[in-house]
Amino acid sequence: MTPETNDTLALRIDGMTCEHCAITIQRALAQVGGVQRAAVSYPEARADVELAPGGPATTAVLVAAVERAGYRATPVAGTPVAPARGAQPAGPAVRSGGPRPDVVVLGGGSAGFAASIHAADLGARVTLIEGGTLGGTCVNVGCVPSKTLIRAVEVQHRAAHHPFAGIHTAAQPPDLPAMIAQKDALVATLRQEKYWDVLAAYPNITLRQDRGRVNRDGSLAVGDDVLKPGRLIVTTGSSPWAPPITGLAEAGYLTSTEALALTTRPASLVVVGSGSVGIEIAQIFARLGTQVTVFEALPTLVPAEAPDAGAALAGYLQEEGLTIRTGASVDRVSRDRTGYLVEATVDGQRETMRAEQLLVATGRRANTRGFGLDEAGVRLGRKGEIAVNEYLETSRPGVYAAGDVIGDPMFVYVAAYGGNLAAENALDGPMRRYDLSALPRVTFTDPQVASVGLSEQEARAQGLDVAVSTLPLAYVPRALAARDTRGFITLVADRQTNRLVGALIVSAEAGEMIQEPTLAIRHGISVTDLAATFHPYLTLAEGIKLAAQTFTKDVKKLSCCAA
């Protein structure tokens, strides 16, 4: 098969390790003169190239282009060149110049900023529309304020509780207004430096501080103006959601936003919901001296994680004085001058709890109401989220969406990734898939809970034959030296390939430790390679090596310094 006599050519590609490799090769082929389209499939290790009749491209030129990208290509003899299963249909070749369609980004949070900056870097003129506070949830009312307060109360807690003999400390009563003022100052600084100052560096991005609404014809009403974008990227984020509990709306309640802004410490607090947000805030206030009760409808805390993580975390939090009620249905809420009355059913038994404050942390919902999206033909899911395909395009051509507005998982780093990807696909055609197969998750309690990939149950449900290794932190020398052996490391490996497919860590610094398993899953690294890799002694990361060794060895019989 030769391109001189055929309009198509199939190549076998060797050396790919992930979907991003396919994108790299696709771009390299698309830039060859005479190539009309290129579709590369990582699962099938194959490229299908559509050539202009009589064009300059030859088999040798295409093979050389793949090799310059760092991979190997050989023609597939006698193979029909229909698009391969799972192949990525390519859009236009990546362009280095020429006019770009104008882009409008609706929403100025992390996804919106990422989309705006990337579209601007690709040469487009961008209008960014934000009717509220610039920066979105994470910097203003989410990740940044919660994590700085978590670290503050950890200092408070360690002053009163530590495991070292001969060290004498004393904890003074916390000054909550001072803590909140310092938190607010940090938020203001980051909002200025990471959003306003960054925006000023991009002259081809215009900020409109107004509310936008999509019209039926795809134009946008912004104030008194009507914009007609070449491409629209919707990044309107999400807001806290509360379930329909009898009396809740009438009684009122705290969301995470209000809870993180309190300047008076409540004597008692009921938290409904034990996802990452709810359980992090519960521990913050418990360490400030508040009597905290957590109600969770599901059997374990942090229900997005494997049950053993939630069970372990519940035990550690109870040791700190929190009251944990799992398998609980909150039936009714009322409020009087003394505070809240929360009525619940726990394991079939009725319970009544009084508290000065009530926090409802039962998840978030996409901000899609009032933007005209459904009227404009943008299909929404059952929870109001925007439905997108694997390239983040909505049901309306030319309209893309990214971030919390497309639903779970609602993480800032996912939003930024999605914003970049949406901008690139909007401008260059559907070339990059939205891939969350190696997505790490962290709950910033103490100890932290972090995971990536598949749990044992999820892997078996997918038909994988897996081996599982679980290492208690008591066998990690760093944890022993720090006198904090709370937690464990679980690794899940595919028996056929010996590759890591999942990891779960409960540890004081699980969020730092999870990155190594993330990279291993992303790049197909085996547990044998993990076990054979140098890990500095007396680091918590060494626990990953020890957990990998646990597949074949009894770590109790290994020397602590010569594993």
Distance of CA 283 to the CA centre of its chain: 22
71, 340, 417, 434: the active-site residue: 71
Does pLDDT of 425 surpass 70? yes
pLDDT reported for residue 563: 56
Does one domain contain both 355 and 385?
Answer: no
- In total, the chain counts a number of residues equal to 563
Does pLDDT of 203 surpass 90? yes
Q: Considering only 15-19, 116-120, 355-359, which range has the smallest mean pLDDT?
A: 15-19
The reply to whether 434 belongs to the active site is: no
16, 179, 410, 431: the active-site residue: 16
Does one domain contain both 226 and 111?
Answer: yes
Does one domain contain both 126 and 229?
Answer: yes
202, 316, 353, 560: the active-site residue: 560
42, 138, 179, 434: the active-site residue: 138
Give the number of other Cβ atoms within 10 Å of residue 167's Cβ.
Answer: 7
Contact criterion met (CB below 8 Å) for 510 and 485: no
CA 25/CA 13 separation, integer angstroms: 9
Mean pLDDT, rounded, for 215-239 = 96
Does one domain contain both 188 and 255?
Answer: no
Mean pLDDT, rounded, for 292-297 = 98
What distance separates the 2 farthest-apart alpha carbons in the chain? Answer: 86
CA 136/CA 427 separation, integer angstroms: 24
Does pLDDT of 103 surpass 50? yes
CA 195/CA 464 separation, integer angstroms: 44
Mean pLDDT, rounded, for 293-298 = 98
CATH number of residue 451's parent domain:
3.30.390.30
Global confidence as pTM: 0.84
Percent residues over pLDDT 70 in the chain:
93
Does one domain contain both 108 and 226?
Answer: yes
Please indicate, yes or no, if residue 70 is contained in any of the structural domains. yes
Does one domain contain both 450 and 466?
Answer: yes
Outline where 161-243 has alpha helix (H): 176-191, 197-200
Which residue range is the domain that position 348 belongs to?
248-361
The reply to whether 71 belongs to the active site is: yes
Does one domain contain both 231 and 254?
Answer: no
Please indicate, yes or no, if residue 503 is contained in any of the structural domains. yes
pLDDT reported for residue 2: 43
Please indicate, yes or no, if residue 494 is contained in any of the structural domains. yes
Does one domain contain both 110 and 27?
Answer: no
| CB-neighbour burial class of residue 291 (10 A; exposed 0-12, middle 13-18, buried 19+) | middle
1, 143, 202, 353: the active-site residue: 143
Mean pLDDT, rounded, for 172-201 = 95
Averaged pLDDT score across all residues of the chain: 91
Please indicate, yes or no, if residue 83 is contained in any of the structural domains. no
Which pLDDT band, with edges at 50, 70 and 90, does 556 fall under? confident
Does one domain contain both 110 and 255?
Answer: no
Peptide bond into 56 cis (omega under 30): no
Tens-place pLDDT, residues 506-539: 999 999 999 999 999 999 999 999 999 999 999 9
Does one domain contain both 423 and 489?
Answer: no
Does one domain contain both 110 and 221?
Answer: yes
Does one domain contain both 29 and 167?
Answer: no
Query: 86 vs 337, which has greater pLDDT?
Result: 337
Say which residues have a Cβ less than 8 Å from residue 34's Cβ, sequence separation at least 6. 3, 51, 52, 55, 56, 57
**Domain endpoint, select from 55, 75, 95:** 75
How many domains does the chain fold into?
4
Tens-place pLDDT, residues 329-376: 999 999 999 999 999 999 999 999 999 999 999 999 999 999 999 999
CA 476/CA 172 separation, integer angstroms: 33
Does pLDDT of 65 surpass 90? no
Mean pLDDT, rounded, for 538-557 = 92
Q: Considering only 34-48, 268-282, 382-396, 436-450, which range has the smallest mean pLDDT?
A: 34-48
Tens-place pLDDT, residues 246-275: 999 999 999 999 999 999 999 999 999 999
CA 126/CA 104 separation, integer angstroms: 6
Give the number of other Cβ atoms within 10 Å of residue 430's Cβ.
Answer: 18
Which pLDDT band, with edges at 50, 70 and 90, does 554 fall under? confident
Beta strands in 289-401 (DSSP E): 291-296, 323-326, 328-336, 339-346, 349-355, 357-360, 364-366, 399-401
pLDDT reported for residue 24: 81
The reply to whether 253 belongs to the active site is: no
The reply to whether 18 belongs to the active site is: yes
